[in-house]
Amino acid sequence: MRKIIFELCAETIEACLAARDGGANRIELCSALVESGLTPSHGLIREAVRHSGLPVHVLLRPRGGDFVYTDAEFAVICEDLRHTRFLGASGIVLGVLRSDSTVDIERTRELVALAGSLDVTFHRAFDVTASLEQALEDVIATGCRRILTSGGKRDVLSGAKMLARLFLQAAGRIDIAVGGGLRLENAAEVARVTGAEHYHGSLRRLATVAPSNMGSCVLEDAGYPDQTRLVVEMSDVRTMIENLRNA
């Protein structure tokens, strides 16, 4: 059975606990996944660290949109990083680009230095760079430990062949974490094509809260669209890991 490291992208405490109970290796913690993730709150970070029992890696992204930050926005990222360390997180997740769609090596190095002993992942800002091959070398030069990528495509299945090439190019110098559109139904194929060890997904599914019982979640549309929310099931985390391992 192949070695697999699975990271759950979580935006709630419930999702963090599902990651723990389902056998995930770590958590990427964020808020606002509808905007592809933003920096989570003080309270969410603290409670995730306290209760998940897993390494918590915190997304540092002060706003939606592009990854070219003003001096003021970069100062916010630095302050959030310091605060994240204070709250006991194990790692940070970031991505800083220049206006020409290349990796901002200088600023990323500054953040890596500020992170100290924290694990640093360069997130899917990588996927919108002008050249993935050059961006890989640039991220390695910054000192980041891993790259989260879909291979420059909309999802990991479409980008699987490029992911395999990036994995070979990296040659053990940096971890390539496969993420972006990873689903239970495509996980085995993605694992076979890429040959990667590190995977990342959110595994959210729609839950409907019946008005007669607000604590009961039904995992299909029961006719109350105004009472729906996205949840993570422990069983889905477990199934994802099994699908990846058995590819």
* CATH number for the domain harbouring residue 134: 3.20.20.380
The answer to whether position 67 is within a domain reads yes
Percentage of the chain surpassing pLDDT 90? 89
The answer to whether position 82 is within a domain reads yes
Checking DSSP bridges between strand 217-218 and strand 204-209, what pairing results, if any?
antiparallel
| Cα separations in angstroms, 203 against 38, 171, 179, 182, 185 | 18, 29, 11, 8, 11
Confidence class for position 211, pLDDT limits 50, 70, 90: low
Average pLDDT, the chain: 93
Place of tokens 């409907």: 208
Mean pLDDT of 84-90: 97
The answer to whether position 134 is within a domain reads yes
Mean pLDDT of 137-158: 97
Domain range holding 70? Answer: 5-203
Q: What domain count does the chain have?
A: 1
Mean pLDDT of 155-174: 97
Please tell me the predicted confidence (pLDDT) of residue 225. 56
The answer to whether position 217 is within a domain reads no
Q: Using CA atoms, how far apart are residues 12 and 48, in angstroms rounded to an integer?
A: 8
The answer to whether position 244 is within a domain reads no
The answer to whether position 139 is within a domain reads yes
The answer to whether position 228 is within a domain reads no
Q: Looking at the predicted structure, is the pLDDT value of residue 195 above 90?
A: yes
pTM for the full predicted model: 0.92
Mean pLDDT of 9-37: 97
The answer to whether position 174 is within a domain reads yes
For 165-175, write each residue's pLDDT tens digit.
Answer: 999 999 999 99
Please tell me the predicted confidence (pLDDT) of residue 228. 83
Please tell me the predicted confidence (pLDDT) of residue 219. 45
Q: Using CA atoms, how far apart are residues 168 and 190, in angstroms rounded to an integer?
A: 15
